[in-house]
Amino acid sequence: MIKDLLTLLDLPSDRLSKIFARAQALKKARRHGKNPQTLKGKTLALIFEKPSTRTKVSFDVAMYELGGHSVCLESVSSQLGRGETYKDTGKVLSRYAHGIVVRTFAQKNVEELAAGASVPVINGLSDLYHPCQILTDLFTIQEVKKNILKLNVSYVGDGNNIANTWVMAAILMGFRLRIASPHGYEPSAMILKKIDIGRTDNIVITRDPAEAVKDADVINTDTWFSMGQEVAEEKRRTFRPYQVNRELLKHARKDAMVLHCLPAHRGEEITDEVMDGPQSRIWDQAENRLHVQKAILEMLLK
């Protein structure tokens, strides 16, 4: 029995295929105007301590279309902003709602909330992980490329929560992953130590973006400046060789697909011609947040 989704490792590998199959069915049903009312009478509490477009709207719409209801709390307008603990907040919200989504800074905030809650808690983003996003990315890849286990997946850019979660996905599923980040901006040392990266043959960490995307079937990137980080010109200069542009794509397979979890800083981590080009699946990726999160909500709240 799965109670929470705090990291990808909370999911057994065999559960992923069920999530993707259900997301595909829900996507098809929506296009035919037939949204199943599987969460009728259920309420989801959304806690947002960071700005959000896709996470907020997709979870809100998901609950509405499945027959449920959502209540959004921002830290400045809730007692979290006045010092109430995450554990106590989890206990209280469990008396009102059937599930909680939290978008916060420290991963420990997510874990403390889940420790206090008796209802499912979903990590909508922390500084360390973004499981809902990577589940969506995996689903998007499956739609286009089918079997991810036969693919070369690459990530180019900052070793942030997206990169960390891609590492977890590769450990969980076993596909080939190559990550290119500048020195000092690699994925979390805690995660690399936890998975013993030196003995994990399917995962390669490099500083060379061309090496990372060589023969890649999928290329991922993300903003160089995560929310709350200072936009420093020095960091921008460091990351310029890691821009996903036409020149970099020449090293990948001709039919490689490009993903970006958004929001994008066009002209920095990705160029307009790639983002809006024929290899981009970024807008499908954004839409799929809705369908995958519906499947997650059904799994945890039904």
Return the active site residues. 103, 130, 133, 222, 261, 289
- What torsion do the CA atoms of 22, 27, 28, 30 make, to the nearest 10 degrees? 120
- What torsion do the CA atoms of 196, 197, 199, 202 make, to the nearest 10 degrees? 130
Cα–Cα distance for residue pair 155/180, rounded to 1 Å = 6
Distance of CA 43 to CAs 97, 293, 295, 302, Å? 5, 15, 16, 11
Read off the tokens for 172: 């969980």
Side chain identity, residue 127? D
Q: Which residue has the tokens 């002209």?
A: 267
Whether 30 contacts 294, CB under 8 Å: no
131-145 vs 13-31: helix crossing angle, rounded to 10: 70
Whether 2 contacts 15, CB under 8 Å: yes
Read off the tokens for 14: 């065999």
Burial label for 170, CB within 10 Å (0-12, 13-18, 19+), is: buried
Strands 257-260 and 121-125: unpaired
Cα–Cα distance for residue pair 232/230, rounded to 1 Å = 6
Whether 40 contacts 25, CB under 8 Å: no
